[in-house]
Amino acid sequence: GAVVSQHPSWVICKSGTSVKIECRSLDFQATTMFWYRQFPKQSLMLMATSNEGSKATYEQGVEKDKFLINHASLTLSTLTVTSAHPEDSSFYICSATGTGDLQPQHFGDGTRLSIL
């Protein structure tokens, strides 16, 4: 089956630093990638949708300058949390979908971000 790799799986850093999370599709070309945030015992909240070579489309209420998304190739998208603060601590998950309307979304294993 389709594999999406997310790295790192867990990161702890000090308030004010920037953190980059990578999302890679290992065995298919991901024309569209999605970034989600998940709070404990809650469902996934979509943050943004990115297409290869285009600017990401952010959901209402998500700060574009805070959460920088780059989708430079058909197998890699990155999410950078800039000047992270404790309230940015969360579980971030990416997903990817291949070419064609019938393709489902495949998810990475998530990144647990803890800001001290």
Residues that bind other proteins (CB under 8 A): 1, 4, 6, 31-32, 34, 42-44, 46, 49, 51, 91, 93, 95, 97, 99-110, 112
Closer to other proteins by Cβ: residue 22 or 82: 22
Closer to other proteins by Cβ: residue 12 or 83: 12
Residue 4 to residue 89: CA distance in whole angstroms? 22
Closer to other proteins by Cβ: residue 65 or 102: 102
